[in-house]
C-alpha cells in the first residue's frame, strides 16, 4: 500500500511539473488517502502483535 501511495505521489509531482493541475490534485489526494490507510493498518498490526506476545 505504501508503494501505491508513493506511486501516486510521483504521478502528482510529474503532473504538477507539466501543468496538469487537476490530475496533480487528484493523484495527490489518492496518495494521501492511501498513506493514511497504510498508517492505520500498520498501527493495527503493531498493536495486535504486541497483544499477541503479551
Burial 21-47 (b: 16+ CB within 10 A, else e): eeebeebbebbeebbeeeeeeeeeeee
Q: Each residue of 7-38: pLDDT tens digit?
A: 988 999 999 898 988 988 999 999 999 999 99
Among positive and negative, which fits the CA dihedral 22, 11, 16, 18?
Answer: negative
Query: Is 16 within 8 Å of 24 (Cβ atoms)?
Result: yes
Domain residue ranges in the chain: 2-53
pTM of the model: 0.75
Amino acid at each position: 500500500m505504501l508503494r501505491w501511495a508513493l506511486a501516486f505521489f510521483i504521478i502528482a509531482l510529474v503532473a504538477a511539473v507539466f501543468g496538469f493541475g487537476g490530475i496533480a490534485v487528484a493523484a495527490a489526494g489518492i496518495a494521501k488517502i492511501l498513506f493514511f490507510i497504510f498508517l492505520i493498518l500498520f498501527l493495527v498490526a503493531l498493536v495486535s502483535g504486541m497483544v499477541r506476545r503479551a
